[in-house]
Amino acid sequence: MDVAGVFAALTTPYAEDGAVSLDQFRANLGLYNRTGLRGYVVLGSTGESVLVSKEEAEFLLAAGREAASTEKLLIAGTGAESTAETIAKTKRAAAHGYAAALVKTPHYYKPAYGPEVFLRHYRSVADGSPIPVLLYSVPVFTGVSLETQEVLALAEHPNIAGIKDSSGVIQRIVEVAAGAPKGFAVLTGGAGVVYPALCAGARGAVLALASALPEKCVALYDLWKGGRHLEAQALQQELAAASKTIVSESGIAGLKYAMGLRGYAGGPPRLPLLPLREESKRRIEGLLSRLEPAAATA
Amino acid sequence: MDVAGVFAALTTPYAEDGAVSLDQFRANLGLYNRTGLRGYVVLGSTGESVLVSKEEAEFLLAAGREAASTEKLLIAGTGAESTAETIAKTKRAAAHGYAAALVKTPHYYKPAYGPEVFLRHYRSVADGSPIPVLLYSVPVFTGVSLETQEVLALAEHPNIAGIKDSSGVIQRIVEVAAGAPKGFAVLTGGAGVVYPALCAGARGAVLALASALPEKCVALYDLWKGGRHLEAQALQQELAAASKTIVSESGIAGLKYAMGLRGYAGGPPRLPLLPLREESKRRIEGLLSRLEPAAATA
Amino acid sequence: MDVAGVFAALTTPYAEDGAVSLDQFRANLGLYNRTGLRGYVVLGSTGESVLVSKEEAEFLLAAGREAASTEKLLIAGTGAESTAETIAKTKRAAAHGYAAALVKTPHYYKPAYGPEVFLRHYRSVADGSPIPVLLYSVPVFTGVSLETQEVLALAEHPNIAGIKDSSGVIQRIVEVAAGAPKGFAVLTGGAGVVYPALCAGARGAVLALASALPEKCVALYDLWKGGRHLEAQALQQELAAASKTIVSESGIAGLKYAMGLRGYAGGPPRLPLLPLREESKRRIEGLLSRLEPAAATA
Amino acid sequence: MDVAGVFAALTTPYAEDGAVSLDQFRANLGLYNRTGLRGYVVLGSTGESVLVSKEEAEFLLAAGREAASTEKLLIAGTGAESTAETIAKTKRAAAHGYAAALVKTPHYYKPAYGPEVFLRHYRSVADGSPIPVLLYSVPVFTGVSLETQEVLALAEHPNIAGIKDSSGVIQRIVEVAAGAPKGFAVLTGGAGVVYPALCAGARGAVLALASALPEKCVALYDLWKGGRHLEAQALQQELAAASKTIVSESGIAGLKYAMGLRGYAGGPPRLPLLPLREESKRRIEGLLSRLEPAAATA
């Protein structure tokens, strides 16, 4: 499995009545299929996976498989707090035809979760999973992170194919890229540091921002791939500003609003996430109107 | 509803095959019924609520109601990430006959969760709940905490009856006790600071340690209640040491091991929580053998 | 040396031209001498010790010794980053006739400062000091803290007489009071938790707030000493609110402003500390006007 | 002033009796003069500036100016807690002929130090300084950091020439490089992320590691400058491992030990910094023996 390039972390659209809208979800995928995105993550943090029910998750997995074109790599978020439940969810993703599982760290019992817990958890999941596992470290949400030594130990497992590291700590990417087996892929989750991360040894990125600006994100990857470093640096600056305004400052509500402005199905997130304030909407509108068209940079 | 005194945060015992053992759970309650505990929390953090399935949670709620004697106050942990799911779980607890719901803060999308989110979430839950709601702030697990201003604002809601504050921040108890309506009860979650917390204005405590040492915890409360301050200070020192060795250093695995030594059903926790190391077992055995019998202090 | 009761952490007043005003400093001490304060800390964090020159520090030590009445216990802040410089400053304090030295933790090279560094540093200082040493842990400023095990190890040293713990972590007071030799005194630095800290085993307090409200702070200690717990709880709530508005929200600038309103020499702090905003002045004025006169509670 | 390239953060060597050894200090500079280093920082964090006296600092400034060859850019660390003292120290550096001052953030009164304090402090220092000022954000030591908005506001000041950012947060470099005036130089302080930082828009680096491995650090910069990205990535991985073993794990004591092994004057740091453990010495020896000679990569 070649995990490289840019993946969109998909959002979960809701209908007027608050139910998951599979139609809108499929419509978004239809649009993304025409881009250079390498693939999609269904039910990640951006997909409000902690806010949807078990049944809704099943429907989303099925709809994702159905709507994604065959050349796109499909990844399912399957991390749960319990090891057994994580394995069960990973098997469901495999049954739905997903290519890999993105497994976020368990995180509730932080004081008890040392390296030993993470090693045992991920090895159990990888042993029990019919599909390759990607580690997922996202301290901004979980309050825990996978350190270099743990990642390198887990990278030796034949069914652990890589990591999505959303910590923004570029030094860890340098260290993991230096020490892990060749096939192990580091993907950054930070749209503001994609180009430095690629320089540091990352193989690609899984980005919330790519749900609103897929072409831009792909263009950045392609510039780096093509050795056009100065242009990459310039586009990275543009995307960092976009990511800050849309994602860092306004969260999933901001991302979905930007998606709506760009012609995708957006809409509000689920409570307790609040609808976007008017003032944030204005900021996002301003930001998007100032963006260069992607074509100019690609 | 008079929420005062000591509550045990109950553990969830498992059978040999890893399934929840309702028999053992009921047996523990049978023993606790004979103590001076004011009541019980079912499906709290100590009960591994994030590691049991929806079905198992239902069975535990039913078994708790069935096995608890009628004079004990029954509280169910019902917090979920989604506001709607929290309300649904709270209604299930009410349907099972629970007296109150203990609702931990949502915590996954930390950067988006400001005061506004917490106020709206808890007000929606309290509006939708047939039973009184207790706030639950446990930053050691969630990475977020409820600050004084938020607690005081929520304390005005007629269906919010109190807070379990496990932060260990005694100044917040002073401030909340000073500013909240008379009926609003602050319960501390820290066995190492029960007596200072009561002096600061807390009405009682919800303690994991009370699942292993219920009489000791009750004795401390009674000493304070009886104005026997010097004895309370001394017993607090003893319980702080016990709590550190059993709970802080060894977590749920340590608590369950201590329970086993004390004649309750203990056993290992669920993965990813690891079974207790031998060395920790020895430390807990040593600690318990040095404890004064509760009778001597009560 | 009997380190018990309430100590004021003294401020450093400046003349119009920005120079240290020893006259104002002595005048404040003249007023404090008439209160029930047990003693004073000169050149602590509240005294802007990190903002005065070596020469100014010498003058302040001398003026403090000169103006303090003989029954008050005089403590000098002497902590520096370097062990050798700390010893040198401590010897200067002893030469000036100070009864004890308050030695804050070194803190700059945080990643290198483990328990071993703190033990060696404090033992060297205590060995080299002609006067008893008080440990000083103030994580809100230093970013490091002394943990229970370190404090208990240092409490065995014959020339280490106690600790000022400004962490607000009451559980540490419980643990240290339980494990340290009888003569070792724990003093809290948190005006919002004096009464709970005394219940937990503290022997007294060193308070910035006592520079503005000495009688109130002494009254709280006396209520606890006299076993008048309900009144102590009530006065603690009042002082917690005062401390929050004056010290926590407005810092040294706020404290000095409140001092001015209470008839002491206040004035602005040194840059980079900013002068107090008008809005904060109004809040402090409002707070002070609502305070009960101390006489009513004593 | 063209602040670009690699600067060594110089260490302060001590003689047998613990006094600063200006001879050794000059000897080190003599060796560095033959390398491609762009310049030196005297009295930075690596130089134990918080552990040397005012008099020693003066001697070090003079010796640095005397021993540095004229084509090297000389930067003096002049940050103090007080604004006035910072200006005074900066003027001394100018009087000694230093080209620029590196001014770390004040940091003791953290709760009081918001953006307003930093803006006013740095503007006052820049106004009062005869030489260009470089901001210095080093949260690992100070516990505070300069955020993008503050840096961009200060970058407008005609006498603020750049920033040394030791936070390791590459996204901030992207943002500052995007928004600051052309002449404003970002220098990274993290040897593990030099190449990603340069890709992100940094102009160079100030590195403790460059005191032990100057040629290697310069080689990395030159590879990037020459557009040899794959080689830069590989050398970065090597330097990240070296930096981790020497600096991150062993601090100044480790750096000085590595310097000794490389033919520079090293020796132990001052207390409270502890001498290096034998085990750490072995790790550093092993690391250095595995390093490729710099010539091979340059």
Q: How many Å apart are CA A150 and CA A163, to the nearest integer?
A: 11
pLDDT over 90 percentage in chain C: 97
What's the burial of B97, exposed, middle or buried (CB within 10 Å: 0-12/13-18/19+)? middle
For chains A and D, having 3+ Cβ pairs within 8 Å is answered: yes
Question: Does the CB of D274 have a partner CB in chain A at under 8 Å?
Answer: no
Q: Closest residue of D to C274, CA-based?
A: D117
Q: Which residue of D173, D229, D240 is in closest CB contact with A171?
A: D240
Place of tokens 């540095």: D68
Q: Tell me: pLDDT of A297 over 50.
A: no
Give the containing element (helix H, strand E) for D186.
Answer: strand D185-188
- Mean pLDDT (whole number) for A155-164: 98
Q: How many Å apart are CA C254 and CA B246, to the nearest integer?
A: 43
C-alpha distances out from residue A10 to A44, A48, A72, A95, A164, Å? 7, 9, 13, 20, 15
Q: Pick the residue with more confidence: D293 or C287? A: C287
User: Are the beta carbons of D209 and D255 closer than 8 angstroms?
Assistant: yes
Question: Does the CB of B140 have a partner CB in chain A at under 8 Å?
Answer: yes
- The pair phi, psi for residue B191, each rounded to 5°, is -65, -20
- Mean pLDDT (whole number) for D168-191: 97
- Mean pLDDT (whole number) for D256-284: 98
pLDDT of residue B298: 35
> Would you say domain B5-228 falls under CATH 3.20.20.70?
yes
Question: Does the CB of B190 have a partner CB in chain C at under 8 Å?
Answer: yes
pLDDT of residue B2: 84
Q: Tell me: pLDDT of B296 over 70.
A: no
- How many CB atoms lie under 10 A from the CB of residue B291? 16
**DSSP line for A197-252:** HHHHT--EEEESGGGT-HHHHHHHHHHHHTT-HHHHHHHHHHHHHHHIIIIITTHH
D-chain CB neighbours of A192 within 8 Å are 171, 174-175
Determine whether the interchain pair A108/B273 forms a contact, defined as Cβ–Cβ distance below 8 Å. Answer: no
Residues of B assigned a catalytic role: 164
Question: Does the CB of B170 have a partner CB in chain C at under 8 Å?
Answer: yes
Q: How many Å apart are CA B215 and CA B293, to the nearest integer?
A: 9
Antiparallel, parallel or unpaired: β B204-207 and B185-188: parallel
Q: Tell me: pLDDT of C64 over 80.
A: yes
Number of C:D CB contacts under 8 A? 102
Determine whether the interchain pair C117/D272 forms a contact, defined as Cβ–Cβ distance below 8 Å. Answer: yes
Binned at pLDDT 50, 70 and 90, residue D292 comes out as low
Token representation of residue A83: 């090891």
Among C20, C109, C123, C127, the residue to mutate for chain D (most D Cβ within 10 A):
C109
What's the burial of C111, exposed, middle or buried (CB within 10 Å: 0-12/13-18/19+)? exposed
For the stretch D210-230, pLDDT in tens is 999 999 999 999 999 999 999
For the stretch A68-124, pLDDT in tens is 999 999 999 999 999 999 999 999 999 999 999 999 999 999 999 999 999 999 999
D-chain CB neighbours of A227 within 8 Å are 229
For the stretch B265-291, pLDDT in tens is 999 999 999 999 999 999 999 999 998
Among B228, A264, D114, smallest CA distance to C249 is for: D114
User: Are the beta carbons of B238 and B246 closer than 8 angstroms?
Assistant: no
pLDDT of residue B292: 66
Token representation of residue A208: 């919330």
Binned at pLDDT 50, 70 and 90, residue D262 comes out as very high
Determine whether the interchain pair C271/D82 forms a contact, defined as Cβ–Cβ distance below 8 Å. Answer: yes
Q: Which residue of B50, B84, B252 is in closest CB contact with A271?
A: B84
Determine whether the interchain pair A272/B140 forms a contact, defined as Cβ–Cβ distance below 8 Å. Answer: no
- How many CB atoms lie under 10 A from the CB of residue C203? 19
pLDDT of residue A2: 84
For chains B and D, having 3+ Cβ pairs within 8 Å is answered: no
Place of tokens 């400001």: B114
Question: Does the CB of C228 have a partner CB in chain B at under 8 Å?
Answer: no
Token representation of residue B164: 């379990």
D-chain CB neighbours of C253 within 8 Å are 112
Give the containing element (helix H, strand E) for C162.
Answer: strand C160-165
Q: Which residues 6+ apart lie within 8 Å of B22 measured at CB?
A: B59, B60, B63
ipTM metric: 0.96
Query: What letters, b where the CB count within 10 A reaches 16 and e where it falls short, cover D77-94?
Result: bbbbbbbbbbbebbbbbb
Q: Which residue of B112, B118, B251 is in closest CB contact with A109?
A: B251
Determine whether the interchain pair C193/B199 forms a contact, defined as Cβ–Cβ distance below 8 Å. Answer: no
Give the predicted TM-score (pTM) of the model: 0.96
Q: How many Å apart are CA C66 and CA D263, to the nearest integer?
A: 55
The whole-angstrom distance between A70's CA and the closest CA on chain B is: 32
**DSSP line for A103-129:** EEPP-TTGGG--HHHHHHHHHHHHHH-
Q: Tell me: pLDDT of B297 over 50.
A: no
- How many CB atoms lie under 10 A from the CB of residue B265? 18
- Mean pLDDT (whole number) for D264-281: 98
**DSSP line for chain B:** ----EEEEE----B-TTSSB-HHHHHHHHHHHTTS---EEEESSGGGTGGGS-HHHHHHHHHHHHHHS-TTSEEEEE---SSHHHHHHHHHHHHHTT-SEEEEEPP-TTGGG--HHHHHHHHHHHHHH-SS-EEEEE-HHHHS----HHHHHHHHTSTTEEEEEE-S-BHHHHHHHHHHS-TTPEEEE--GGGHHHHHHHT--EEEESGGGT-HHHHHHHHHHHHTT-HHHHHHHHHHHHHHHIIIIITTHHHHHHHHHHHTTS------TTSPPPPHHHHHHHHHHHHHSPPHHHH-
Question: Does the CB of D168 have a partner CB in chain A at under 8 Å?
Answer: yes
- Mean pLDDT (whole number) for C50-69: 98
The three-state (H, E, C) secondary structure of A143-179, written as one string: CCCCCHHHHHHHHCCCCEEEEEECCCEHHHHHHHHHH
pLDDT over 70 percentage in chain A: 98
Among candidate residues D72, D89, D104, D164, the one labeled active-site is D164
For the stretch C151-195, pLDDT in tens is 999 999 999 999 999 999 999 999 999 999 999 999 999 999 999
User: Are the beta carbons of A10 and A42 closer than 8 angstroms?
Assistant: yes
For the stretch D112-121, pLDDT in tens is 999 999 999 9
Query: What letters, b where the CB count within 10 A reaches 16 and e where it falls short, cover B130-139?
Result: ebbbbbbbbb
Token representation of residue D128: 């009062």
Q: Which residue of B173, B178, B193 is in closest CB contact with C171?
A: B193
Q: Tell me: pLDDT of C296 over 70.
A: no
Question: Does the CB of D275 have a partner CB in chain C at under 8 Å?
Answer: no
Place of tokens 């970065």: D236
D20 CA to centre of own chain: 20
The whole-angstrom distance between C27's CA and the closest CA on chain D is: 25
Q: Closest residue of A to D200, CA-based?
A: A196
Token representation of residue B188: 């501390």
Among candidate residues C164, C216, C256, C281, the one labeled active-site is C164
Task: State the sign of the Cα–Cα–Cα–Cα dihedral D227, D228, D234, D235.
Answer: negative
Question: Does the CB of A279 have a partner CB in chain B at under 8 Å?
Answer: no
Question: Does the CB of B177 have a partner CB in chain C at under 8 Å?
Answer: yes
Residues of A assigned a catalytic role: 164
Question: Does the CB of A139 have a partner CB in chain B at under 8 Å?
Answer: no
Among B10, B48, B16, B107, smallest CA distance to B269 is for: B48
pLDDT of residue A295: 43
pLDDT of residue A1: 77
Determine whether the interchain pair D192/A171 forms a contact, defined as Cβ–Cβ distance below 8 Å. Answer: yes
Among B54, B108, B146, B250, the residue to mutate for chain A (most A Cβ within 10 A):
B108
- Would you say how long chain D is, in residues? 298
Q: Tell me: pLDDT of D188 over 50.
A: yes
Question: Does the CB of A271 have a partner CB in chain B at under 8 Å?
Answer: yes
C-chain CB neighbours of D141 within 8 Å are 108-110
User: Are the beta carbons of C200 and C2 closer than 8 angstroms?
Assistant: no
Q: How many Å apart are CA A119 and CA A151, to the nearest integer?
A: 9
State the chains in contact with D (3 or more Cβ–Cβ pairs under 8 Å).
A, C
Q: Is D121 in a helix, a strand, or coil?
A: helix
pLDDT of residue C292: 66
Domain coordinates in residue numbering, chain A: 5-228
- Mean pLDDT (whole number) for C86-93: 98
- The pair phi, psi for residue A165, each rounded to 5°, is -110, 110
User: Are the beta carbons of C99 and C73 closer than 8 angstroms?
Assistant: yes
Determine whether the interchain pair B271/A54 forms a contact, defined as Cβ–Cβ distance below 8 Å. Answer: no
Question: Does the CB of D19 have a partner CB in chain C at under 8 Å?
Answer: no
Determine whether the interchain pair C273/D124 forms a contact, defined as Cβ–Cβ distance below 8 Å. Answer: no
For the stretch A202-229, pLDDT in tens is 999 999 999 999 999 999 999 999 999 9
pLDDT of residue D298: 35
State the chains in contact with B (3 or more Cβ–Cβ pairs under 8 Å).
A, C
- The pair phi, psi for residue C213, each rounded to 5°, is -130, 60
Task: State the sign of the Cα–Cα–Cα–Cα dihedral B43, B45, B46, B51.
Answer: positive
User: Are the beta carbons of C171 and B192 closer than 8 angstroms?
Assistant: yes
Q: Tell me: pLDDT of B252 over 60.
A: yes
Does the active-site annotation cover C164? yes
Token representation of residue D84: 């006035």
The whole-angstrom distance between B189's CA and the closest CA on chain C is: 12
C-alpha distances out from residue A80 to A51, A87, A142, A206, A271, Å? 13, 9, 12, 19, 20
Determine whether the interchain pair A109/B253 forms a contact, defined as Cβ–Cβ distance below 8 Å. Answer: no
The whole-angstrom distance between C199's CA and the closest CA on chain B is: 6
- How many CB atoms lie under 10 A from the CB of residue C292? 12
Q: Which residue of C168, C173, C174 is in closest CB contact with B169?
A: C168
- How many CB atoms lie under 10 A from the CB of residue C77? 28
